[in-house]
Amino acid sequence: MSPIVSAMIIAIVLLNTAAMVWLLLWMRKRRGEPQTAGDTTGHVWDGDLREYNNPLPRWWLWLFLISVAFALAYLLLYPGLGDRRGTLGWTQVKQWEEMQAAQERSARSILARFDGRDPAALAGDPAAVAIGRNLFANNCAACHGSDGRGATGFPNLTDGDWLWGGDPETIVTTVSQGRVGVMAPWIDVLGEKGVDDAAAYVLSLSGRKAPKGDVAAGQAQFNTYCTACHGPDGRGNTAVGAPNLTDGIWLHGGSAAKVRETIAHGRQNAMPAQEARLGDTRIRLLAAYVISLRGPTRVAALDSR
């Protein structure tokens, strides 16, 4: 707040308060003065109902004065007068931080027993999975859906198809550090026809036919430009987060038009890092929950690795 605005607010508040006190005291002075017939507000209703201009009852007057005193004490102790901070040094941020710290202390006592545990083992512990489910609803569901099944651009975490890898350590790394998946635009390199051909080949990998484009020419393009990331057989590469293009599961939409759009214009996608927000133990619980989404048999298979 600029000092001028602050000074103006202080002046307005104090002048208003002083004016209020003056008004109250002025009303009080009238008490005890003899009441005359002319001492009305001049309003007349129904021909003979008049409104007397009587002083306030004393108790009411005192209530007003007490509230003025309260207001002044409040403005002295707490922020409220312009940008004055108040003698107690109270701020909303400080109060919020204290509440957060208190909450964290009580959460710690519950979370402590999961510290450093292997997410695969936690996935078999119903208490851990229940906490993970709540954490997921609060921190992840906005993007991955309340059931973890994702949406266009946001991967489904339940289908066993992984961009970056589905083993427990990799999931922990993904969630704590975040991930950026980048697919470059290819239109300048391949041209319109080249993109059509590449899209036809990509669709053929999951047994589909494209409305246009030459699959054989597309395969040649793919072998030149795409295998470095998507692998020679198009099954993807978790080191760079390149999706498997053969399984009929599409991150950015599987219609011929969407696949073509991805290849022509590229995609850029980010999973935000959570370590600073959530800390290690919560991330392990979240990984346990994500692992539990695959169903019991696959969790058991992980356990017996």
Q: Which is nearer to ligand HEC, 46 or 188 (CB)?
A: 188
Give the nearer residue to ligand HEC in terms of CB position, either 81 or 186: 186
Residue with Cβ nearer ligand HEC (81 or 285)? 285
Nearest-CA neighbor of 75 among 27, 24, 16?
A: 16
- Output 35 or 138, the one with its CB closest to ligand HEC: 138
Rule CB under 6 A: choose which of 197, 210, 241, 293 binds ligand HEC.
Answer: 241
**Stretches 9-17, 27-35, 67-75, 136-144: which one binds ligand HEC (CB under 6 A)?**
136-144
Residues 74-84 as b/e (b if ≥16 CB within 10 A, e otherwise) read ebeebbebbee
Residue of 75, 271, 291, 302 that binds ligand HEC (CB under 6 A)? 271
Q: Which is it for the CA torsion 294, 168, 279, 149, positive or negative?
A: negative
Which residue in this structure is represented by tokens 């207001």? Answer: 71
Rule CB under 6 A: say whether 128 interacts with ligand HEC: no
Look at the alpha carbons of 51, 52, 53, 56 in this order and tell me if their dihedral is positive or negative: negative
Q: Does the footprint of ligand HEC cover residue 119 (CB under 6 A)?
A: no
Q: Is 264 in the site for ligand HEC (CB under 6 A)?
A: no
Where in 199-238 is the site for ligand HEC (CB under 6 A)?
202, 221-222, 225-226, 228-230
∠ at Cα 47 (41, 49), nearest 5°?
Answer: 50
For ligand HEC, the closer CB: 68 or 141: 141
Rounded Cα gap, residues 120 and 125, in angstroms = 9
Q: Does 154 bind ligand HEC (CB under 6 A)?
A: yes
Residues 219 and 210 sit within 8 Å (Cβ to Cβ): no
Minimum distance of ligand HEC from residue 302's CB (angstroms): 14
Burial class of residue 1, CB neighbours in 10 A (0-12, 13-18, 19+): exposed
Question: What is the rounded distance in angstroms from the CA atom of residue 252 to the CA atom of residue 111?
Answer: 36
Query: How many other β-carbons are positioned within 10 Å of the β-carbon of residue 117?
Result: 15
Query: Considering only 79-87, 108-116, 118-126, 179-187, which stretch makes contact with ligand HEC by CB under 6 A?
Result: 179-187
Residues 6+ apart with CB under 8 A from 141: 148
Among 82, 119, 168, 181, binds ligand HEC (CB under 6 A): 181
- Tokens linked to 149: 């099944």
162 is a contact residue toward ligand HEC (CB under 6 A): yes
> What are the angstrom distances between the C-alpha of 151 and each of 138, 144, 206?
17, 7, 20
- Asked if 262 interacts with ligand HEC (CB under 6 A), we say yes
82 vs 274, which CB is nearer to ligand HEC? 274
- Give the residues lining the site for ligand HEC (CB under 6 A): 139-140, 142-144, 153-155, 157, 162-164, 171, 174-175, 179, 181-183, 186, 198, 202, 221-222, 225-226, 228-230, 240-243, 245, 250-252, 259, 262-263, 267, 269-272, 274, 286, 290
